[in-house]
Structure 1
Amino acid sequence: MDALTYIIGGVSLAVGIVAGKFIFAKNTQKQVEDAESQAKKILADAQTNSENLKKERLLEAKEKFVQLKAEHDKEVLERNKKINEAEGRIRQKEQSINQKVEQTEKQIKENDAIKDNLNRQIEVVNLKRTELEKHQEEHIRRLEKIAGLTADEAKSQLVESLKQEAHTQALALQQEIIDDAKQKANKEARKIIIQSIQRTAAEQAIENSITVFNLESDEIKGQIIGREGRNIRAIEAATGVDLIVDDTPEAIILSSFDPLRREIARLSLQRLVADGRIHPARIEEVVEKTRRQIEEQVMEIGERTVIELGIHGLHKELVRLVGKMRFRSSYGQNLLMHSREVANLCGIMAAELGLNPKLAKRAGLLHDIGKVPDEETELSHALLGAKLAEKYGENPAVVNAIGAHHDEMEMAYVIAPIIQACDAISGARPGARREIMQQYLQRIKELEALAMAYQGVEKAYAIQAGRELRVIVEAEKVSDADSDKLSFEIAQKIMTEMTYPGQIKVTVIREKRAVNVAR
């Protein structure tokens, strides 16, 4: 029973397996059929899409072809249009050229006819000239026979007679013109000079040899003098200006012949008093700083002067010398004011005479430039000024006018006598100049120059109105014994070479300093 059951179970299992395989085979066949039908469908869709795509591409290609063809036709039309226009222009040019050729040929024919006519007229004129020459020769023979002179002799006599008569008349006319010019020249010259003076308003500034420095209180005088007078001595040694501290309330007098030194001393004192620190080292520092500031101020004054006078293109060094004239005097008259006045007078006078006023004004401003050189020379100020002007590229007329305004150079240009006249006018104004002041300044300058000529001398200042010469020497080059010898030699040379009133005290200062800086 168990075996039968086992067999039956095995048979049932086998039948089940067979039945399963049959069902699986049947399902697989169905799937294959579905796949084939689906593939056929996909293939059909693909063919349909391909046909549609092909049609679309054909349509696009046709449209593109139509578009390109239209553009090509348009370009062809434009090109044909341009060709037609060019052909039309060419035909017009050909017609114009043909017309010109016809006109030229016609003109040539007319010119030929005119030429033939002129040739005939020339032949007639030549025949008539020949006949006239024959008549003239016959007439001359008759005249020579009657006068008993040849034609050349008669011509020479006539020319000589006319020449003598013309010469006599020219001399008479020349004398009349000269007399008339002399009568009018003085009158016109006075008129021009008077007009020039009237149109130039000039200030009369007389340079003094002192400057008053005002103080807020008399207590500051003690600080300026310093212990045992060391501060005031340091100021005098650094500036070359004599400080006079007297009973004048709230004032100190600065005395020096040189306005530039007085200005440096005044500004230095002003800074020292404002700062409150007054001692020898500080004094030297402030004086040196003030000296540099004055140099800048000199340049500013020169630039402002040339701008106000309308002078352009002046060399920087000449501008600096013009500014330097502000601190110099000429016979007591401020040199810059004198030069400005001369420049204005020259410009007006040159304009009245029909000359170049700008050139004359330029020469007038620079005519005394030789009075403010950086180095002393043996040349006169007129020749030195001409040399400086030539060095810095000034016009030859300006150079000649500067050198000739005191007749030390021959006048080669018209503006030279104008500069000379205007210089004389400016100096001749009432109160403009004082001869005594100029002589005093010259003596002081010579005194300082005499001391500076010795070796080892660093600075030399004439103070106390020229009654004392203070000489500062370099300690490395001059010993104490040499200082005594130098003082004696300078005093002896002053006595033998100079003329002066009273007596002159020569003080030689030798100071040795050792300076180190702690950092």
Structure 2
Amino acid sequence: MDAILMQVLTLQAGIASLLAFILGVCLCIVVHQMIARTRKRTIEEDLQRQIDGAKREAENIIKSAQIEAAAEAIKKKEQFTAEANQIRAELRENEMRLSKREDALDRQTDLLQKQEQALKKQEQDVERRFRNTELKDKQLSVLIAQQKNQLLKITAMDIEEARQLLLKRLEDECEHEMSSLIQRKVEEAQELADVKSREVLSTAIQRYAAEQTCEVTVSTVDIPNDDMKGRIIGREGRNIRAFEKATGVDVIVDDTPGMVVVSGFNPVRREVARLSMERLIQDGRIHPSRIEELVAQTRNDVNAKVLQIGKDAAVETNVRGLPNKIISLLGALAYRTSYGQNVLRHSVEVAFLSQVMADELGLDGSIARRAGLLHDIGKAIDHDVEGSHPVIGTNYLKRFSESPIILNAVAGHHGDIPPDNPYTPLVAAADAISASRPGARRETLERYIKRLEKLEEIATGFKGVETAYAIQAGREIRVIANADQVDDEAAMKVARDIAKKVEDEMTYPGEIQITLLREVRCIEYAR
């Protein structure tokens, strides 16, 4: 019984468990379905909200697009209206312009018609005059024939003789008129040339400013004491003889304290000798072998310095393509002076003045600058070669195939040969400007006074000259002539004769102006 009871209880417990499981499963299914329905409803609500939002956003976009489209349409309409108004205005202007042109064409047509009528009248007048002219020509031919016959009867000449007489008279008249015309044109050209030349020269002088100080080559050597003179002379004069032989200069050792004079015609040799003497004195070893060694070393140094000076001058003037030999001669001009004026600085100054004047005249400034720099190149070797420095310089430059323009400018800058190009007169003018400007050249007071006295003496030596005054530092002579002895025509001849005599008998830089004055002074006293 108990066992059956236990089985029954067990069976009941199993059935209860099964029922509970089934109920649990059913409950889970029910809960799951409820959750699914709730989620579905939530999803549907979210979806509905998104659809409603999308609809509202679409409506907003459509409204914005409609508003923008309406605004764009209004803007396009306004633009179209403005363009239409502009086109209408242009059309009105074109219509007005065409109307004016039509009016102008109508006026021109009327004017042309009037001119055509006037031309017809003129043609008729010309035809009438032509007929009258033909009639008068016939009448004149008859009259001329009658006059010819009458003249032939009176003069007993034939036609050929009369023709020759008329041609001769006509030739004389034409020659007189031609001479007058030529003289007038020459005077006008001379006046224009004077004005233009003054402008060019003044512009060149104003644009180029050069130093007024003039360096002179120093030919003296300072010595520390007079005992050094004996060492320079050496035993029986061997040192001084060796020095003079090595340098080619003369050494003067006199009683002048504290100095030795170096004398030589070649400025470069003199500079070599001066530097060699200074180095010997500083070195203290003075004997023939040391002298020869030191002089050779100094000569090389001076040649290098001369070459560098020439290169600096070429660079300063921007003259290119010069050989080293010509550049060395340019450097040697730095040790050469003319009336106290350094020849190299003078050449550089002439180069710049020539360029300025060439630029003013529309010529090539580089050619003028090259000719101006090389115009005095012959002065670097005129102590070693016979002839004037223009000829020497020209012959030397020919070796280096310089252009004919440069050669003519070098040879003719002092008027030795006629110029064959416009650059030669420019170089000559620049040379005169550089040499004659105030402060360019110097001379001693004694020579200066003698030159002024010589000028006054030459001027007063002519008949009819009462007195003469040298003014403007000797660049002008003011001559006072006796009006009773010298008339207007003779005054020009006297002035020219004075200028000619000054040119022949004196040496001077630049030019000298002769101004001759003659006047009649009538003096009375009222008492």
Bin the TM-score by the shorter chain: 0.5 to 0.7
Q: One-letter code of the match for 1:380?
A: I
Distance 1:99 1:179 in 2: 61
User: Quick one: structure 1 residues 204 and 292, their matched pair in 2 at CA, closer, same or farther if it must change by over 3 Å?
Assistant: closer
Decide which moves more: 53-62 or 161-170. Answer: 161-170
Partner of 2:319: 314
Instruction: State whether structure 2 residue 60 is matched by structure 1 residue 63.
Output: yes
Partner of 1:300: 312
Distance 1:291 1:7 in 2: 153
User: Quick one: structure 1 residues 240 and 100, their matched pair in 2 at CA, closer, same or farther if it must change by over 3 Å?
Assistant: same
1:484-495 alignment, distance < 5 Å: none
1:338-397 deviation line (CA, Å, top 9, x unaligned): 42465588789x69x999897867643331246669xx9999312544786956xxxx86
Partner of 1:335: 343
Distance 2:295 2:17 in 1: 132
Partner of 1:77: 74
Q: One-letter code of the match for 2:19?
A: F
Partner of 1:120: 117
Distance 2:279 2:28 in 1: 120
1:90-101 alignment, distance < 5 Å: 90-101=87-98
Partner of 1:412: 420
1:308-349 deviation line (CA, Å, top 9, x unaligned): xxxxx532648956862454537897431442465588789x
Do the aligned residues in 2 keep the contact of 1:370 with 1:382 (CA within 8 Å)?
yes
Distance 1:123 1:91 in 2: 47
CA RMSD of aligned residues (A): 6.4
Distance 2:263 2:165 in 1: 86
Instruction: State whether structure 2 residue 172 is matched by structure 1 residue 167.
Output: no
Instruction: State whether structure 2 residue 362 is matched by structure 1 residue 365.
Output: no
Decide which moves more: 241-250 or 80-89. Answer: 241-250
Partner of 1:53: 50
Do the aligned residues in 2 keep the contact of 1:243 with 1:252 (CA within 8 Å)?
no
* Correspondence for 2:331 among 311, 324, 331: 324
Partner of 1:457: none
Helix, strand or coil at the partner of 1:97:
helix
User: Quick one: structure 1 residues 383 and 295, their matched pair in 2 at CA, closer, same or farther if it must change by over 3 Å?
Assistant: closer
Instruction: State whether structure 2 residue 50 is matched by structure 1 residue 42.
Output: no
Of structures 1 and 2, the one with the larger relative CO (CA 8 A, separation 6+) is 1
Give identity over the alignment, percent.
20
Distance 2:177 2:215 in 1: 56
Q: One-letter code of the match for 1:116?
A: Q
Distance 1:149 1:414 in 2: 58
Q: One-letter code of the match for 1:381?
A: G
User: Quick one: structure 1 residues 212 and 91, their matched pair in 2 at CA, closer, same or farther if it must change by over 3 Å?
Assistant: same
Distance 2:280 2:15 in 1: 135
Equivalent pairs, count:
390
Helix, strand or coil at the partner of 2:27:
helix
Distance 1:7 1:240 in 2: 165
Helix, strand or coil at the partner of 1:91:
helix
Distance 1:369 1:144 in 2: 76
**Residue ranges of structure 1 left out of the alignment (5+ in a row):** 226-232, 307-312, 433-519
1:137-177 deviation line (CA, Å, top 9, x unaligned): 444444554552479x9999877645423423654787899
* Correspondence for 2:221 among 192, 206, 212: 212
Distance 2:102 2:187 in 1: 71
Give the alignment's TM-score, normalised by structure 2.
0.52
User: Quick one: structure 1 residues 27 and 249, their matched pair in 2 at CA, closer, same or farther if it must change by over 3 Å?
Assistant: farther
Helix, strand or coil at the partner of 1:380:
helix
Q: How far apart are residue 401 of structure 1 and its match?
A: 1.6
User: Quick one: structure 1 residues 76 and 160, their matched pair in 2 at CA, closer, same or farther if it must change by over 3 Å?
Assistant: farther
Give the alignment's TM-score, normalised by structure 1.
0.52
User: Quick one: structure 1 residues 158 and 252, their matched pair in 2 at CA, closer, same or farther if it must change by over 3 Å?
Assistant: closer
Decide which moves more: 407-416 or 27-36. Answer: 407-416
Q: One-letter code of the match for 1:382?
A: T
